[in-house]
């Protein structure tokens, strides 16, 4: 990826605005607790991010990639309300990555991101701060909660009728062991990505993170792949 990696590209810089930065997704497994919580390296973080095989029906326009944070290009998907919170949530990130998809004429977007930490304690502290930033009306005015069931150790998601792309959007977040995962959807049209589908994305993503932390090659995918 070179010295700048993907963090300096317009695509990643616009990830939050274009797809509504989000977090999340059932039906694929993904339990409530963490049974393996190893620190993940760049290769493992990249493997956790869903690829085209994991989300059939979506066009992959940003392949899974991960990198170590560098001062000039901190993780664009890590945001906090204060400098102190950013020190807690973003400075300890050991590796991070993204993958992105789109489908349909109205360019519905689907974005995944992962932030890795050295241990569960650091990930837990970061999760609370990131949830404060991404939660509630961050996705759009009058946001409503989305039930993700029980993927990971912690999770939450919100949906709004009007997001940054002008149509319905969702933001979700999950903590699985030493990682904090995010999912966002957005569209210029009127049809929201169904909550049931977002729930399935969250479960699949959480399971992939659990597999990596347990020393396995992530293989979880949405049914039909």
Find all residues with CB under 8 Å of 128, minimum gap 6, and list them: none
Q: Whole-angstrom Cα distance, residue 45 to residue 48? A: 5
Its pTM stands at 0.85
Give the pLDDT score at 31: 39
Reading the block at residue 6, the tokens are 């993907």
59/2: higher pLDDT:
59
Q: Which pLDDT band holds residue 130 (cuts at 50, 70, 90)?
A: very high
Q: What ranges in 37-194 are assigned the alpha helix state H?
A: 42-48, 83-89, 120-134
Sheet holding 95-103, edge to edge: 59-67, 95-103, 108-116, 179-186, 169-176, 154-160, 144-145
Q: What is the mean pLDDT of the chain?
A: 86
In this prediction, residue 74 carries a pLDDT of 82
Q: Each residue of 191-225: pLDDT tens digit?
A: 999 999 999 999 999 999 999 999 999 999 998 74
Instruction: Give the C-alpha separation, 112 to 22, whole Å.
Output: 8
Residue 212 confidence (pLDDT): 97
Of 16 and 122, more confident: 122
């Amino acid at each position: 990826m070179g010295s700048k990696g993907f963090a300096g590209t317009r695509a990643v810089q616009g990830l939050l605005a274009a797809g509504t930065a989000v977090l999340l997704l059932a039906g694929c497994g993904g339990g409530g607790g963490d049974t393996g919580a190893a620190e993940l390296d760049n290769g493992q973080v990249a493997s956790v991010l869903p690829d085209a095989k994991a989300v059939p029906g979506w066009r992959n326009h940003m392949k899974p990639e991960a990198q170590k944070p560098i001062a000039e290009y901190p993780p664009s998907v890590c945001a906090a309300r204060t400098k102190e919170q950013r020190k807690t949530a973003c400075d300890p990130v050991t590796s991070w990555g993204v993958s992105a998809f789109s489908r349909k004429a109205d360019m519905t977007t689907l974005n995944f991101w992962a932030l890795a930490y050295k241990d569960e304690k650091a990930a837990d502290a970061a999760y609370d701060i990131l949830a404060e930033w991404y939660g509630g009306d961050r996705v759009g005015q009058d946001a409503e909660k989305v039930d993700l069931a029980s993927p990971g150790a912690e999770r939450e998601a919100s949906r709004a009728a009007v997001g940054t792309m002008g149509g319905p959007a969702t933001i979700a977040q999950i903590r699985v062991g030493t990682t904090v995962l995010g999912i966002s959807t957005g569209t210029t049209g009127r049809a929201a990505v169904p909550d049931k589908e977002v729930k399935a994305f969250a479960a699949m993503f959480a399971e992939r993170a659990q597999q990596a932390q347990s020393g396995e090659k992530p293989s979880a995918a949405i049914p039909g792949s």
